[in-house]
Structures are given as structure tokens and as C-alpha cells.
Chain A
Amino acid sequence: MKKLAIALLALAALPAFAKDQLHLYNWNNYIAPETVKRFEDFCKCEVVQTYYSDNEELLAKLAAGAKGYDVLVPTGNAVQALIRGSQLKPVDKKELPNLKNVDPVYLNTPFDPGNQYSAPYAMSTTILGYNEEKMKELGLPTDTWAVIFDPKYLAKVKGRVTVLDSPDELFAAALKYLGYSANDTDEKHWKEVVELIKKAKPYWAAFNASSYIKELTVGNIWLVHGYSNDIFQANQDAQAAGRKFHILQGMPKEGAVLAVDSMVIHKAAPRSDLAHKFINFMLDGRNSADLTNLIGSGNPNLDAQKYIKPELKANPAIFPPKDVQAKLEQLQDLKPAQRRLRSRLWTEIKAGK
């Protein structure tokens, strides 16, 4: 009888081989492989990742009713959109003691007041990226938006500059340069932006949001308006390829756009218990620091600071000083009428000579 019980117990233990799974819907290369491994060992489960390359992709897919995902990592305004569409499950803060590690500056944002749904994961800024040697040679400043908007400077780098092919980002940069908020929606100010861009456009090589990393690395382009992570990547590639120059990040003194990606739980998450475990795990300083060390992303986690490579910590584009930090802004969604107007202005910019 006892033997039978033991045999039954052994049988009952068998399904344990079919591991629990956490489904993470994430950006590609947005979690360090060693972190995934550590979490899998910790939770005795398997992390299954699926990727998106744009917040809109994620929103479209979930809006149509796709499910099966536990944790998503959208950017601020997409978090807001998901909350509005009641796509998210509130987080249970009792399960997230590590939330205390997050810099309060990044908590309780207008996107998710009181952090009922989201916990900050990592962030990036939209800044200048430049070829250090070329900029020095030409004597150009690298700490102001003027260098991509003012013809006085642009004349020296004509045809070697690209800006992002994104109305959100380019308008924000121009508004910052003109001294307004990145989220300014005053039509008069937008007209000023259009004038500014039209004057600068003849000096730009392209509106480029995808291949500028490579162009920087190869040395065809010397100055870009781009994402901090991408510029970091460009320099890593350039050094690995044995280039004679460095690609550096330049934080404009006028301020810039900040994008904070947060972890949220989908309303239909099959394993919200594992999701909470994962979020709390990623809020641990050491795990959070892994990502920064891998891709040079900004880190909202105070506890992570001691694990981050010193050269990254000294980088003002990744860890901006307090006075610059105050000038960083997260982009908010436009109202439909504003979006229409902006699309029209954008077309005018791109079509005009």
C-alpha cells in the first residue's frame, strides 16, 4: 500500500517537468540573456518572449483581442492608451516590494497616476549623436539643438546630418530649441517650427529613423537626431569594427524627449502571479542594471546605480545631471484635431523645397 502511495506521488510529481511559463511581450534585445536565465532559475519557470518593434504594433494587436501575454513593456503614452482601453490589470503593490527602488521622479506620472498599472523598466532620450573627431575638426558644439537647426552651424556639415523621420520627435526637438515645451500644441508655435525646419532641411541628408545607426558607424553621417540607445549601439559597433573614430551622445542643454518604458500586466494574463514575480524581480537593482550595461539605456532604478559600469554612469546622456533632468519631457498623445493639423504641417515640410 505504501509503495503504491509512493508510486502515485511520483506520478503526481511528473507534470512538474512541464514547466510554468511566463509570456513576455517585449522589444527585441530589451532584456539581458543572463537576467532571463536568473529569473528562470528563481521562479522555476520558463520565459517565453515575443517581440514588437513599435508601440502601435502592440496596441493594434491587443485592441483586436489577442491574448496569452502576461507582461508587456510599452512606452509612457502607450501605457496611457492601454489603460484607457481597459487592457491592463492593476498591479498588486504588496507583491512588488522592490517598487521602493525606483526613483520617485519616475513614479506617479500623468500617464498612470499612482502607478496603479505600471512599474518603470528602462528609459531612453532623443538626443544628438555625433562623430567626435569630425565635430572637433569642424569646431561644432554638441550640446545644443542649434547644431541641427541653425544654418550657421549646418553649413559646415551639409549633407552629413540626419534627423528622425518622426513628426513627434522632430517637432519636440524644434519646440525645445525654440524654448517651448515638447508637448506645446499652440498653432503659432507649430508654424514657427515649420519655418525653422524648412530653413534647416536643405542641409540635412535625410529624414532617417532606421539606418542611421549604420550610417554613423560607417562614417557617412557625422551628426544625427536619434535615440540614445541607438547612438550607444552605433559606437559599440564602430569600436568592434575597429573604426578610427568615436560616436558620442550629446545631451542638448535646451532639454529633450524622455521615453520611459514600463512593465504592465495584460488584463487576460494567464499567469498574473508569475507576472508580479517578474516585475518585482526586474525592479531589483542588479537585474535592472544588466540591461543598462548591455544596451546603454537610462535606468530609473536607484538601487541599480551601484551595479552599473562606471563609464556609463559618467555619461550625461544616459544619466543626465539634475538641471538637465528637469528639462526632459515625456511625449503625450495629441488630440485627433491636433494630430490632423500636425500631419498636414509634416506633409508640407516633407513635400516642400
Chain B
Amino acid sequence: MRKRSRWLWVCALVAYAFLYLPLIIVVVYSFNDSRLNAEWVGFTLDWYRKLFANDEMLLAAGNSLFIALVASVVSTILGTMAGMAMHRYRLRLLPILVLTPIAIPEILMGVSLLIFFVMLNFTLGLVSVALAHISFCIGFVAIVVRARLSGMDETLVEAARDCGASPLQAFAHVTLPLIMPGVIAGALMAFTLSIDDFVITFFTAGAGTVTLPLQIYSMIKIAVTPEVNAVSTLLMLLTLLLIVIASKVSPSLLRSD
């Protein structure tokens, strides 16, 4: 028994190291006093200073955040509705329509969305990117919400209805609180998917619309500077903050219940 748990620890440590070491290195090198991410030279906050003076990078980060927020909020609402519908009714078409965008290769979706926007004479910009992101995020939210719904005790809703709640009240006071962990998990997923998406964003962004992934990718040619590490560190902090908030709002999100 002791031996087995020791092995478990080793496996867990290796897995965590694999997941987190690269992230830690990114953070550490954001404080490195050298343009090259090759070796440790000395501690500095210069890259953060440079980052906050770099309008282009900040604009890109701001755009990314804006798009991710809009995309996650809208796709969470629509995705929850889709998840409910797929759970409640025996629909043939809806699951296919909702889930296909998850399976379609991103490049295909990017190109087809671009052609679609061009056909509609829709000006490419923040709005087109946000719409594109919403369209591929809905499916992910719907899956998570439906999974949560299938584990829910249906009699609770019936009981609420018997006690005189309207369908809307039953949803607001019974269903929603119960599926909240799924909704929040879906929203977080949509947020992260949106904020780091490159391919679809590349095709649907218009002249002058730059998001963080687009900005970083275009810098690869001239070698990525530690400013990228600095902005990544801030993003990680933000993500961490979001998860902490989510776990405060819905403690069962991070625990099995």
C-alpha cells in the first residue's frame, strides 16, 4: 500500500512538472535582464515597464480581453440554452449543428467565416472576430452544460413546478443553481479558447484589428522578446484570478460533489 502511494506521488509530480514547469520558466524569464530567453542574467522589472509603454501590445491585449469577455458571456448564454434543449428534447438536428463547429478543422472554419463575412459585406473588425469566437465556443459550453444536466435529479424541477413555480422560476431557482458549476466551467473554457485562438482570429480580423496571439505570432520572425513573457505572466495571473473567483462563486466547481 505504501509503495503504491509512493509511485502515485512520483507520477503526480512528474505530470505536474510537465504541465507547470514551462509556465514557471515563462514567468521567471519575464524578470530576466536580457533580451534573450537563454540564460539568467539578473533581476529586472524593465520588461514590464516596456510593456506598459508599448501601446501596440496593450491595444492587442485589450482587444483580446474584450473579445474573450464578449465571446464567453454570449456563448455561455446561448450554449446553456442549447445544452438545456438537447437535454430536454429528443432533437436530431440541434446536437449536430451545435457540435459540428468543435469537430471542424479551425482553418476551414476561419476561411469559411471570412468568405461569409465578405459575402455579407460585413466590415471585418472586433465584431467579426467576436462573432466567430462565439460560434465555436457555443458547442463547448453546450457539451459541459448537458453533461451536468444529465447528472441532475429531474424530480427537483418537477417538485418546484408542483409547488407553483413558473417554468422560468423553476429554472432560475432550481435548475440554474444546480448546473452552475457546468455553466461556469463552460464560460471559463470559452474564455480561454477565445483568448488564445489564432487561426480563426487571423482570418476574421480586419485591418487594424490585432489580438494578442496575432501580435505575438507576427513577432516570431524577429525573435520573441521578454515583453511577451511579461504579458503572458499577466494573462496567467488574470486566468488564475478568474478561477479563484469562479471557485468562490461555486465551490463545487473545483471539488467533486
Question: B208 near A53 (CB under 8 angstroms)?
Answer: no
Q: Indicate if B247 sits at the interface (CB-CB under 8 A).
A: no
24 sample A-B contacts, Cβ–Cβ < 8 Å, listed by A number? A23-B207, A27-B221, A49-B56, A50-B207, A50-B209, A50-B210, A50-B214, A51-B214, A51-B218, A52-B218, A53-B221, A57-B202, A64-B114, A65-B115, A65-B119, A66-B114, A67-B124, A214-B36, A214-B37, A214-B38, A218-B38, A237-B35, A240-B35, A241-B34
Question: B38 near A217 (CB under 8 angstroms)?
Answer: yes
Minimum C-beta distance from A202 to chain B (A): 27
Question: B115 near A64 (CB under 8 angstroms)?
Answer: yes
Q: Indicate if B206 sits at the interface (CB-CB under 8 A).
A: yes
Question: B218 near A48 (CB under 8 angstroms)?
Answer: no
Minimum C-beta distance from B83 to chain A (A): 32
Q: Indicate if B1 sits at the interface (CB-CB under 8 A).
A: no
Q: Which of B207, B217, B221 is within 8 Å of A25, CB to CB?
A: B207
Q: Indicate if B219 sits at the interface (CB-CB under 8 A).
A: yes
Contact A61:B114 (CB < 8 A) given known A68-B124, A68-B207, A214-B223: yes
Name A217's closest neighbour in chain B (CB-CB): B36
Q: Which of B35, B208, B210 is within 8 Å of A241, CB to CB?
A: B35
Q: Mark B12-50, 1 if CB is under 8 A from A, else 0.
A: 000000000000000000000011111101000000000
Residues on B facing A (Cβ under 8 Å):
34-39, 41, 56, 111, 114-115, 118-119, 123-124, 202-203, 205-210, 214-215, 217-223
B202: A residues at CB distance < 8 A: 57, 61
Number of interface residues, chain A, beta carbon within 8 A: 33
Tell me the residues in window 59-82 of chain A with beta carbons closer than 8 Å to chain B beta carbons.
60-61, 64-70
Q: Number of residue pairs across A and B with beta carbons under 8 Å?
A: 88
Contact A66:B38 (CB < 8 A) given known A28-B219, A61-B202: no
A234 to B115, CA, bound (A): 40
Residues on A facing B (Cβ under 8 Å):
21, 23, 25, 27-29, 48-53, 57, 60-61, 64-70, 210, 213-214, 217-218, 230, 233, 237, 240-241, 295
Question: A50 near B208 (CB under 8 angstroms)?
Answer: yes
Question: B36 near A241 (CB under 8 angstroms)?
Answer: yes
A50 to B39, CA, bound (A): 32
A21 to B37, CA, bound (A): 36
Question: A29 near B219 (CB under 8 angstroms)?
Answer: yes
Q: Which of B203, B208, B219 is within 8 Å of A61, CB to CB?
A: B203
Minimum C-beta distance from B237 to chain A (A): 26
